[in-house]
Structure 1
């Protein structure tokens, strides 16, 4: 090899190293840009309602955790928290109409659950409120100004119909005397997309299901459902038990447990694509209060519950009895209902 050859190779090395370095820098910049776009996209997906401002101070007392010292990073929350979770039967948009049918105007709280997470975030109780429960619906402020009229012997799910999330929260707080620290709502298409993004969900039913209304047909046994089937499973009522909302709640509670098991068995951190798909499905159809309307706040809540498994979650239904005024409706069974809510304060 001549000295000229060696010189040419030596001259090429810095250029090659420079090209490799620029490629790595470019890849890093593109990766950061993609991550930044993904964060912005997911964050902007989330819709929110300022429930605290709408309801003011006329609410059950809120437990305020101690503030961290100035030199201390904000710790993950550990105090007990109550979250009102609603499944909305909104028919707005083609996807929701295809899954639910019916009018494209208005919506009701098709599913209502109070999720109580114990102090320390090591156990949780999910309390289902039958939508057919007759309640005293309080007067609720309207976004357009003014307020709704109080109603006696109104169906529970009418609160959402007449006053949206604000009235749903106020009605739940009125009948439970428990402060709802947060509000989370997901619609038909969002739930179905979430189940599909997780790869489906496995449930077991003790009896055959053949429901013309939910369009679900299953033999008794264990089934792996896709998103559309899981939504139908959550909405089935006429083909099980006595055909009441209580039978449907039993299926919904099984589904909640199954989803928790599916999430815990799916290591989303090893698959960025699946993680993004799940996050996009959740945020794309989510409405929250303003305390949970960012990825940072949602991630903080999720991180605080990372030790919570499906075995640590208890599902119950608010104790009810048949309403004296209507055999197709129920009312809270006392004192059992009050004792249940007292345990969550």
Structure 2
């Protein structure tokens, strides 16, 4: 048998007219490995190639259909990502080799220069059609791994050992402090203008979001150097730092002696975690800090975020306005939507920020992530810092799937008139926190406000964040709180 499939000898046809047939067989081999080998009588090799191709496809289908949760857990493990990138490249190399060898087997024996060139170009294009998506997949896997290892460090930043067999150390709930850092060129350091403790039930995924206002005063400090310096509550340095909750992070960074043993960029998170833990009387396990200006880059990388705006919101420094209606906001517009206090208040802004984050979470679908992956990864690296260790990422992925699959997400904001920011009732804050986490749904009238008057439940509140929020003492579902 000839080393090359001779169409003229087999069929008595003119080889000048056999090139389309050869290219068709090459294309078929690119779609299903081994077709050209089988046609040319190389049955053993052809059968092996077809079997390998079918096995790979079946394995991918079965994994996607029946083992998706496990795949999601593996997708946050750097070692598996490295292996995946290498595997993708290996498959791509085999694929291109199959295409080239298939054409060699079915190519007519005598072609004119023009036909030969046309055939070579066609096969080259076909090889690129295989190589480009394979290379794209391997590259994005590498980019993803790089972003993952840049944001999440091995062992985390809290120095505690990680038990992957019991990731929550027997705890029924895991508490993650979500921070929005408002750094800018005209401001020294970072001010944590958004502070929310997400308390998640590790069994059910039910979540309570407990939000503290940026301007909370007279904050009790944790035992140790911080309380020794501020025995009667945090007062800052005076002047530009009057002693608000959003100053604790940067104050710790500027005063290393308050958090002995902590490195730069860890002092702020550690002291703020301990401070908020004391305010709410709840442990704070981990934190995630999102730089608000980097957050705008994330929104742009997503292609914008869809939101329903219920009232005009001033935007920018030129008198622009975000008009009511269903809008797709770009990064800077989304940033202003979440930060603007003009004709509004800190507390209305807190509500908008939660709705904005909820909208982004819902719209970060697989198609958006895949098509804009490199931009999203780069923006996320710039915008996010955390002490969640790499080893716990599979457990967090599993937990997040519970949160998305129908679990309830409630929100409770400690804002006026429920809580006076200038003279906070910390005993009431702790009481309401315990009640919210316990899942109680007591009527608001059962708990007096700091002024001694009865308050109304949030069920009758407007679905849009308002300048004067209802003094609700029970958590409200985000689906109820955010306009649709």
TM-score, normalized by the shorter chain, greater than 0.5:
yes
Match of 1:156 among 245, 255, 260: 245
| Structure 1 counterpart of 2:183 | 90
Q: Structure 1 stretch 297-306 or stretch 221-230: which is displaced more?
A: 297-306
Contact between 1:82 and 1:180, CA under 8 Å: does it hold in 2? yes
Q: Deviations over 1:10-58 (max 9, x none)?
A: 99x79x858448x7998899568535532442134316696534xx8xx
| Structure 2 counterpart of 1:317 | 413
Match of 1:268 among 366, 378, 382: 366
| Structure 1 counterpart of 2:60 | none
Residue 212 of structure 1 and its aligned partner are, at CA, apart by: 6.2
| Structure 1 counterpart of 2:357 | 256
Residue 136 of structure 1 and its aligned partner are, at CA, apart by: 2.0
Contact between 2:314 and 2:321, CA under 8 Å: does it hold in 1? yes
| Structure 2 counterpart of 1:38 | 143
Contact between 1:268 and 1:275, CA under 8 Å: does it hold in 2? no
Go from structure 1 to structure 2 and tell me whether the alpha carbon gap of 1:41 and 1:52 turns closer, same or farther (over 3 Å shift).
closer
Partner Cα distance (1:173, 1:166) in 2: 11
Matched, 1:171 2:275: yes
Partner Cα distance (2:173, 2:99) in 1: 55
Matched, 1:190 2:294: yes
| Structure 2 counterpart of 1:340 | 432
Say how many residue pairs are matched: 303
Match of 1:52 among 141, 147, 158: 158
Q: Deviations over 1:228-263 (max 9, x none)?
A: 1111111111322xx3x2121122122233223323
Partner Cα distance (1:2, 1:33) in 2: 38
Q: Structure 1 stretch 196-205 or stretch 225-234: which is displaced more?
A: 196-205
Residue 216 of structure 1 and its aligned partner are, at CA, apart by: 5.9
SS of 1:316's partner is strand
| Structure 2 counterpart of 1:225 | 329
Which structure would you say has the larger RCO, counting Cα contacts within 8 Å and 6 or more residues apart? Answer: 1
SS of 1:284's partner is helix
Match of 1:205 among 309, 312, 333: 309
Go from structure 1 to structure 2 and tell me whether the alpha carbon gap of 1:214 and 1:162 turns closer, same or farther (over 3 Å shift).
farther
Contact between 2:175 and 2:200, CA under 8 Å: does it hold in 1? yes
Higher strand fraction: Structure 1 or Structure 2?
1
Residue 300 of structure 1 and its aligned partner are, at CA, apart by: 4.2
Partner Cα distance (1:202, 1:18) in 2: 44
Partner Cα distance (1:106, 1:37) in 2: 32
Q: Deviations over 1:254-283 (max 9, x none)?
A: 2233223323xxx31586333444344323
SS of 1:137's partner is coil
Q: Deviations over 1:310-337 (max 9, x none)?
A: 883222202555988xxxx434345541
Partner Cα distance (1:317, 1:140) in 2: 28
Partner Cα distance (1:221, 1:3) in 2: 66
Contact between 1:190 and 1:285, CA under 8 Å: does it hold in 2? yes
Contact between 1:46 and 1:286, CA under 8 Å: does it hold in 2? yes
Residue 211 of structure 1 and its aligned partner are, at CA, apart by: 5.8
Go from structure 1 to structure 2 and tell me whether the alpha carbon gap of 1:20 and 1:176 turns closer, same or farther (over 3 Å shift).
farther
Structure whose alpha-carbon radius of gyration is higher = 2
| Structure 1 counterpart of 2:464 | none
Residue 114 of structure 1 and its aligned partner are, at CA, apart by: 0.7
- Show structure 1 runs of 5+ residues with no match: 57-63, 69-73, 92-96
If the length of structure 2 is used for normalisation, what is the TM-score? 0.51
Residue 118 of structure 1 and its aligned partner are, at CA, apart by: 1.9
| Structure 2 counterpart of 1:308 | 403
| Structure 2 counterpart of 1:283 | 381
Residue 304 of structure 1 and its aligned partner are, at CA, apart by: 2.4
Contact between 2:302 and 2:369, CA under 8 Å: does it hold in 1? no
Contact between 1:51 and 1:166, CA under 8 Å: does it hold in 2? no
If the length of structure 1 is used for normalisation, what is the TM-score? 0.69
Partner Cα distance (1:279, 1:287) in 2: 13
Partner Cα distance (2:6, 2:163) in 1: 76
Cα RMSD over matched residues? 4.5
Q: Deviations over 1:51-96 (max 9, x none)?
A: 534xx8xxxxxxx99946xxxxx99x995211001111123xxxxx
| Structure 1 counterpart of 2:215 | 132
| Structure 1 counterpart of 2:199 | 116
